């Protein structure tokens, strides 16, 4: 039952961000959605989920969240400097960056560090 509750809460939060960002005609909604994504808005929820099952996992969870956040900051800085190129190239480039990072993370078993 707890998995269903977690999915429900996660879905509601994702739905709110999706709803806000779907109002793209008003730039303020896009800015709010970007802030919600960039702010640690999901961190408290993920910490809660992780701590429910094992209190000792939080240091590992936080460490790996930092690794992912560093990669996100790199992607954001590069995207910022390339923000005037074709938007589709920017989206594809960011997706490829994610795919390569995720592949390296799994392939080299960095999750075991």
What is the rounded distance in angstroms from the CA atom of residue 70 to the CA atom of residue 86?
25
Same structural domain, 59 and 37 = no
Global pTM reads 0.78
Same-domain check for residues 32 and 72: no
pLDDT digit string, tens, across residues 10-54? 788 778 777 777 766 678 877 877 887 787 877 888 888 888 878
- Whether residue 78 is contained in a domain is answered as yes
Q: Is residue 28 part of a domain?
A: yes
- Count the domains in the chain: 2
82 and 37, same domain (yes or no): no
Based on the fold, state whether residues 63 and 108 are members of the same structural domain.
yes
Q: Print the domain residue range for 69.
A: 54-113
- The confidence score (pLDDT) of residue 23 equals 67
**DSSP helix/strand/coil, 5:** helix
- State how far Cα 4 lies from the chain centre: 21
68 part of a folded domain: yes
Q: What is the mean pLDDT of residues 56-81?
A: 94
Backbone angles phi, psi at 82, to 5 degrees: -105, 15
């Amino acid at each position: 039952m707890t998995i269903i509750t977690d999915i429900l809460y996660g879905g509601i939060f994702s739905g709110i961000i999706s709803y806000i960002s779907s109002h793209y005609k008003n730039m303020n909604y896009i800015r709010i959605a970007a802030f919600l994504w960039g702010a640690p808005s999901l961190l408290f929820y993920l910490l809660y989920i992780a701590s429910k099952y094992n209190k000792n996992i939080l240091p590992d969870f936080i460490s790996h969240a930092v690794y992912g956040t560093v990669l996100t900051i790199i992607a954001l800085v590069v995207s910022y400097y390339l923000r005037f190129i074709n938007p589709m190239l920017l989206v594809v480039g960011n997706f490829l960056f994610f795919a390569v990072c995720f592949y390296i993370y799994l392939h080299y078993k960095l999750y075991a560090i």
